[in-house]
Amino acid sequence: MSDHDAAPHDAPQSTTAGSAPSGLRASLDDSRRRRRRGLLAGLGAVAAAALVGGGFWAGTAVGGSDAQAAGSASGSGERLSVTIAGSGESDLQDTVKTVAAEEGLDVTWVNFDDWTLPNSALVAGEVDANAFQHTAFLSAYNVANDTDLTPVFSTTITQWGVFSATLDSLDDLGRGDRIAIPDDASNGARALFILQAAGLIELGPDVGVYPTVDDVTGNDLDLEFVPIGATTIPTQFDDPSLDAVVVGTSYFDPTQEIDADDALYLDDSLSDESRPYVNAVVTRADDTDDEAWALLDEAYADPRVAEALEKESFGNTQLVEVSADDLRSTLAELETAAREITS
């Protein structure tokens, strides 16, 4: 098993100044450079085309010409259409819909509040794909439900952190304080890795990728972990019974005016250890070769989508590009790990 294929067993580490960039961070820098070139080209400037190489992580592509070529390649010139399940209306969805329509792909978004519903709707054939989850969450769902949902291309990754409505520092945490973590297997594990990286707990040496609170071997402050649905954690952020929460930085409603600067600790979402948390467009295994996905992928790569995401998430969520093969390889490894836990 190569280094790129190895599933991460250690906690994500916080960003360290001066450290060598991960493949994902380097590719994101490439992505930003290409996005600037794409914007200039859209204004009529002449920009030289360049292919940027990479290892496991590949920079987010930017364009419009490739999407047009893909549209022409569909042959008849007839419009395609897809229905995609999501987890909440957003400017990002609206922008993807607008850009895709220009390239001959009509996108209809169907949003659900419950994170299990976009997958069950996809399995039932009610939608053609969904776009709301990372690979770790998908793997847990596939194993628990004996399904074969499959990623077709990567979209984004979100930075996570520890937040508190009452504390100014992790040093202010006291004995027996209560910390909310997500109640699902994949995000709950991510929260525990973050707490370990922050120096608050220790996990056993062989916990794999899905540790639970039972795998906590060191807890000097005797912290209590409160499982809550990940999407509802932000709404309970200022619950007086909670001293801190672990959640994605982009999960907070803009009206709460909470961003990465308010975190007591942030994970390094661009480290290679964060690979399981790359989000993707997912479909049924039998539909992965549908020609619509190439057009949708190009729509996500458009500079206008990057701008919408930047504005919507305040920079807390990044567009990233990971090959379908690598997404599926990671998924297979995570599913193996999940089956070992449940067997």
Q: According to the per-residue pLDDT averaged within each range, which of 17-21, 112-116, 268-272, 303-307 is highest?
A: 303-307
Q: Give the angle 102-108-110 at the CA atoms, nearest 5°.
A: 150
**In one letter, which amino acid is 167?**
L
Note the pLDDT of residue 16: 33
Is residue 37 predicted with pLDDT exceeding 70?
no
Cα 173 to Cα 153: distance, rounded to the nearest angstrom: 40
Contacts of 329 (CB under 8 A, 6+ apart): 5
State how far the alpha carbon of 63 is from the alpha carbons of 69, 79, 80, 164, 297, in Å.
11, 20, 20, 40, 11
Provide mean pLDDT across the span 278-301.
97
The band of 1, judged by pLDDT with boundaries at 50, 70 and 90, is very low
Which tokens is 75 given?
């042959």
Is residue 214 predicted with pLDDT exceeding 90?
yes
Worst-scoring range by mean pLDDT, 21-25, 274-278, 284-288, 339-343? Answer: 21-25
Q: What is the DSSP letter of 235?
A: G
> If you count them, how many residues does the chain have?
343
Higher pLDDT, 254 or 222: 222
Q: According to the per-residue pLDDT averaged within each range, which of 6-10, 32-36, 180-184 is highest?
A: 180-184
Provide mean pLDDT across the span 247-275.
89
Note the pLDDT of residue 30: 52
Note the pLDDT of residue 276: 93
Provide mean pLDDT across the span 115-138.
96
Count CA atoms within 13 Å of residue 298 on its CB side: 20
**Average pLDDT of the chain to the nearest whole number:** 81
Dump the DSSP string for 143-160: HHHT---EEEEE-EEE-E
Nearest to 181 by CA among 193, 172, 173, 169: 193
Note the pLDDT of residue 71: 42
Whether the full predicted model's pTM is greater than 0.85, yes or no, is no
* Topology given in CATH for the domain delimited by 23-158+277-342: D-Maltodextrin-Binding Protein; domain 2 (3.40.190)
Note the pLDDT of residue 103: 93
Which residues are bridge partners to 279 per DSSP?
134
Asked if residue 279 lies in contact with residue 186, where contact means CB atoms within 8 angstroms, the answer is no
Provide mean pLDDT across the span 72-94.
82
Q: List, by residue range, all CATH 3.40.190.10 domains of the chain.
A: 23-158+277-342, 160-266
Q: According to the per-residue pLDDT averaged within each range, which of 52-56, 124-128, 315-319 is highest?
A: 124-128
Cα 334 to Cα 328: distance, rounded to the nearest angstrom: 10
Q: Where are the alpha helices (DSSP H) in 65-147?
A: 65-73, 91-102, 117-123, 135-145
**Burial per residue of 304-335, b for 16 or more beta-carbon CB atoms within 10 angstroms, e otherwise:** bbbebbbebbbebbbbbbbebebbbbbbebbb
Residue with tokens 């047009």: 68
Q: Where are the beta strands (DSSP E) in the chain?
A: 57-58, 80-86, 105-111, 129-134, 150-154, 156-158, 160-163, 178-182, 202-203, 216-218, 224-228, 244-248, 265-266, 279-283, 317-319, 321-322
CATH 3.40.980.10 for domain 160-266: no
Taking the chain, what is the end-to-end CA distance rounded to the nearest angstrom?
A: 23
Cα 3 to Cα 7: distance, rounded to the nearest angstrom: 9
Is residue 14 predicted with pLDDT exceeding 90?
no
Note the pLDDT of residue 28: 52
Dump the DSSP string for 246-274: EEEGGGS-GGG---GGG-SEE--TTSGGG
Asked if residue 322 lies in contact with residue 157, where contact means CB atoms within 8 angstroms, the answer is no
Is residue 39 predicted with pLDDT exceeding 70?
no
Is residue 90 predicted with pLDDT exceeding 80?
yes
Q: What is the DSSP letter of 276?
A: G
Residue with tokens 């190439």: 294
Note the pLDDT of residue 38: 39
Note the pLDDT of residue 48: 25
Provide mean pLDDT across the span 321-339.
94
Per-residue pLDDT of 42-64, as tens digits, reads: 322 222 222 222 333 433 322 23
Q: What is the DSSP letter of 289?
A: T
